């Protein structure tokens, strides 16, 4: 992950990966046929952890806005805890020519967010007139845009920026999702 994050996938060599891992070059080839397979393995390992955490939020009985806040926190705080993972996903996975091969995995969080929104709509917590799939895509797209800004260095980062992004994203997007109070409908 570190090699891909700092050198980029295309300029990394299998020897760089073996050196970073502290293993012989040949041993790496014993387990992986190519650096593409290494990239797939590190992506799947890290992405599955994020998906499991998002699914756990989805299974709670919290109000939809709180669940959305937790999903945003999981994804945005990954920048602080695992910046190399975010760099690789943003630069090497999500924007690669091979993205079509991974699109199902990359959009899995949108499915969880959609289900959270649908449940919030059923409970009357969120606006029923919104398309839940499109609303989920917009919410996830906001998270992706913030993370991309951090990776590319076009947005300030740090703990305060992460907290502000989390709060702003949820307030702007989820606030627009909120059901109107009964008196104003």
Question: What spatial distance separates the first Cα and last Cα of the chain, rounded to whole Å?
Answer: 50
Question: pTM for the complete prediction?
Answer: 0.83
Select the more confidently predicted residue: 114 or 155.
114
Would residue 24 count as lying in a domain? no
| Residues 149-165, mean pLDDT to the nearest whole number | 87
Task: Domain count for the chain, please give it.
Answer: 1
| Residues 86-110, mean pLDDT to the nearest whole number | 74
Average pLDDT, the chain: 85
Phi, psi (degrees; rounded to nearest 5) at 80? -75, -40
Would residue 116 count as lying in a domain? yes
Would residue 13 count as lying in a domain? no
Give the CB-side neighbour count of residue 128, counting CA atoms within 13 A: 5
Give the pLDDT band (50/70/90) at residue 96: low
Range of the domain at 176: 36-180
Least confident range from 85-94, 97-106, 148-157: namely 97-106
Q: For position 112, which CATH number holds? A: 1.10.357.10
> DSSP states of 124-148 as a string?
TSB-TTS-HHHHHHHHHHHHHHHHH
Would residue 169 count as lying in a domain? yes
Give the per-residue pLDDT at 183: 43
| Other Cβ atoms closer than 10 A to 77 | 15
Would residue 61 count as lying in a domain? yes
Would residue 4 count as lying in a domain? no
- 117 close to 64: Cβ distance less than 8 angstroms: yes
Would residue 2 count as lying in a domain? no
* pLDDT digits 0-9 by tens, 121-139: 999 999 999 999 999 999 9
**CA quadruple 106, 112, 117, 122: dihedral positive or negative?**
positive
Would residue 14 count as lying in a domain? no
């Amino acid at each position: 992950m570190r090699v891909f994050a700092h050198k980029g996938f295309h300029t990394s060599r299998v020897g760089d990966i073996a050196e970073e891992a502290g293993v012989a070059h040949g041993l790496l080839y014993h387990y992986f046929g190519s650096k593409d397979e290494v990239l797939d393995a590190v992506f799947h390992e890290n992405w599955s952890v994020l998906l499991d955490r998002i699914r756990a939020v989805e299974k709670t009985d919290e109000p939809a806005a709180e669940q959305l806040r937790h999903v945003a926190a999981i994804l945005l705080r990954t920048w602080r805890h695992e910046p190399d993972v975010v760099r690789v996903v943003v630069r090497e996975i999500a924007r690669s020519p091979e993205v079509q091969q991974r699109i199902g995995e990359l959009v899995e969080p949108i499915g969880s967010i959609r289900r959270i929104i649908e449940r919030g709509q059923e409970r009357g917590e969120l606006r029923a007139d919104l398309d839940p799939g499109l609303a989920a895509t917009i919410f996830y797209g906001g998270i992706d845009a913030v993370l991309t800004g951090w990776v590319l260095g076009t947005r300030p980062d740090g703990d305060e920026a992460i907290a502000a992004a989390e709060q702003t994203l949820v307030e702007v997007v989820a606030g627009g999702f909120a059901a109107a109070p009964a008196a104003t409908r």
